[in-house]
Amino acid sequence: MRMQERIVARLTEGLEPERLDVVDESSRHAGHAGVRTGPGHARGVGETHYRVRVISAKFAGLDRVARHRLVYDLLPTEFADGLHALALDAKAPGEA
């Protein structure tokens, strides 16, 4: 299973989101720390940097740091397997 699919599965299971968008932005980080390169990776890079936008009732009452911690705590295996960075936009329902 690709990293993006793994992230979607874990966040869907753990957050029961109203909305979840996971975008691979690894190609935008070519040459940066944490980017995997070599054969088998699209355009020489891949599966290390993602942008995640998620709306979940589980974020209600949590500050930004607690929301990010909740997301990161759902992905320990993915980080161990090469996920390097997430750009997170985590909101509760009804937040702008």
Cβ-based neighbour number of residue 46 at 10 Å: 21
- Alpha-carbon gap, residue 63 to 9, rounded angstroms: 24
What is the phi/psi pair of residue 91, to 5°? -130, 155
Tell the CATH topology of 3-29+45-91: GMP Synthetase; Chain A, domain 3 (3.30.300)
Cβ-based neighbour number of residue 69 at 10 Å: 12
pLDDT at 41 over 50: no
Structure confidence at residue 28 as a pLDDT band (50, 70, 90): low
pLDDT digits (tens, 9 = 90+) for 52-85: 999 999 999 999 999 999 999 999 999 999 898 9
The answer to whether 47 and 8 are in contact (CB under 8 A) is no
pLDDT digits (tens, 9 = 90+) for 12-23: 999 999 999 999
Q: Which residue has the higher pLDDT, 58 or 36?
A: 58
Strand partners, 51: 23, 87
